[in-house]
Amino acid sequence: MIKVGIIGATGYAGAELVRILLNHKDCEIKWYGSKSYVGQNYADVYKNMFELVEDECLDDNIDKMAEEVDVIFTATPQGYLSTILNEDILKKVKVIDLSADYRIKDVDIYEKWYGIHHGSPELIEKAVYGLCEVNREEIKHTRLLANPGCFTTCSILTAYPLVKEGYIDGNTLIVDAKSGTSGAGRGAKQQNLFCEVNESIKAYGVATHRHTPEIEEQLSYAAGEEIVISFTPHLVPMNRGILATEYASLKEVTLPDGSKGYPTSDMIAEAYNKYYKNEKFVRFLGEGATPETKWVEGSNFVDIGFKVDERTHRVVMMGVIDNLVKGAAGQAVQNMNLMFGLPEDEGLRMVPMFP
């Protein structure tokens, strides 16, 4: 059995980790870490865990935890892990970080966009970016895993095949994304109160959202050149889910008959199938399909569709995920499975909830 410790077990992502790992046949949660609820029964914090979890919440002593578990998940605010993680800890235990502390390779970009000092920049190069469908082999051999953000997971996977194949101009890419309120975390914030969110939709972080450089960095790797995008997130009155609607100009390419022209719908569909037909958790719905967040709720799936706009020579790409599962805890468990040589879908065979 893999012994698991969780720092931040009482946040939304941490609670989702608990829900998933309780059904993982190869794992046992040994440490429910929560600075706010030390000494309280976990099931008193989350009543859905009544008679499922008997443990009390412990502190977040990562040094002691590293002596007692095989892997530590850190579902903590940005900047926390970078101030307490070191080489000695990584020699004892594998770490899967759900924050952004080790996602971005350029520490100056991280500090600029997040507005905080990075506490251990020497560890950034050791970290592997945990987008399973792209970095699977590297993930298998790392001890420090940077779990991607929720907006970034959806945005990158939706556009990745077309960027990789050179079918779109990445610098024309516009990502218009909508997220449920759980993406803002469990902390009490006025702007997330029911009366503030219900019956409304709003953009936020316009031209400044901190997931922007993460999306740009990963798509730049795919394109083999620097990509700069426009990214605008929106808050919608639902608990879970992200819908990313993405627009980009098609590039002229060599067509199957040898002539020059814009990629056809068939070529774009073939690109998606090329990269995703063997992926357990990416469901390509085909041309004209408009995926809905309800189709993936409670699951680790990514659903993707597209439509070519021949009039403007642009393509509209659409992707949906559950922000707490594939966008956070589910992807973290998928990464853990790879890191420990387990079946990639172990503990993650959840059927989406409907309605």
CA 225-230-231 angle, 5° bins: 115
Which residue, 21, 22, 8, 3, is CA-closest to 69? 3
> What is the rounded distance in angstroms from the CA atom of residue 102 to the CA atom of residue 194?
33
SS3 label, residue 112: helix
Tell me if 113 sits within 8 A of 210, measured CB to CB. yes
Distance of alpha carbon 89 from its chain centroid, rounded? 24
CA 22-25-31 angle, 5° bins: 45
The per-residue pLDDT for range 234-270, each reduced to its tens digit, is 999 999 999 999 999 999 999 999 999 999 999 999 9
The per-residue pLDDT for range 195-204, each reduced to its tens digit, is 888 999 999 9
Q: Where in the chain is the domain with CATH 3.40.50.720?
A: 2-126
Q: Where in the chain is the domain with CATH 3.30.360.10?
A: 151-323
DSSP state of 350: P
> What is the rounded distance in angstroms from the CA atom of residue 9 to the CA atom of residue 74?
8
Tokens of 29: 């949660």
Q: Give the list of residues 6+ apart from residue 263 with CB closer than 8 angstroms, or none.
A: 162, 167, 250, 251, 253, 255, 271, 308, 315
> What is the rounded distance in angstroms from the CA atom of residue 344 to the CA atom of residue 133?
11
Number of H helices, E strands in the chain: 12, 15
The confidence score (pLDDT) of residue 212 equals 98
| Amino acid symbol at 252 | E
Task: Write out the H or E segment, with its range, that includes residue 316.
Answer: strand 314-321
Q: With respect to CATH, is domain 2-126 assigned 3.40.50.720?
A: yes
Distance of alpha carbon 153 from its chain centroid, rounded? 4
The confidence score (pLDDT) of residue 6 equals 98
Each of the 355 residues of the chain gets a pLDDT tens digit; together they read 999 999 999 999 999 999 999 999 999 999 999 999 999 999 999 999 999 999 999 999 999 999 999 999 999 999 999 999 999 999 999 999 999 999 999 999 999 999 999 999 999 999 999 999 999 999 999 999 999 999 999 999 999 999 999 999 999 999 999 999 988 777 767 887 888 889 999 999 999 999 999 999 999 999 999 999 999 999 999 999 999 999 999 999 999 999 999 999 999 999 999 999 999 999 999 999 999 999 999 999 999 999 999 999 999 999 999 999 999 999 999 999 999 999 999 999 999 999 8
The confidence score (pLDDT) of residue 187 equals 74
In order, the DSSP letters of 219-264 are HHHHHTS----EEEEEE-SSSS-EEEEEEEEBPPEE-TTS-EEPPP
Q: Any catalytic annotation for residue 27? A: no
| Record: fold of 151-323 | Dihydrodipicolinate Reductase; domain 2 (3.30.360)
> What is the rounded distance in angstroms from the CA atom of residue 10 to the CA atom of residue 307?
40
How is the chain split among helix, strand and coil, in percent rounded to 5? Answer: 35, 20, 40
Determine which one of 27, 57, 132, 150 is catalytic. Answer: 150
Tell me if 239 sits within 8 A of 304, measured CB to CB. no
Considering only CA atoms, give the Rg of the chain. Answer: 20
The confidence score (pLDDT) of residue 197 equals 87
Tokens of 259: 């002539």
| Amino acid symbol at 329 | A
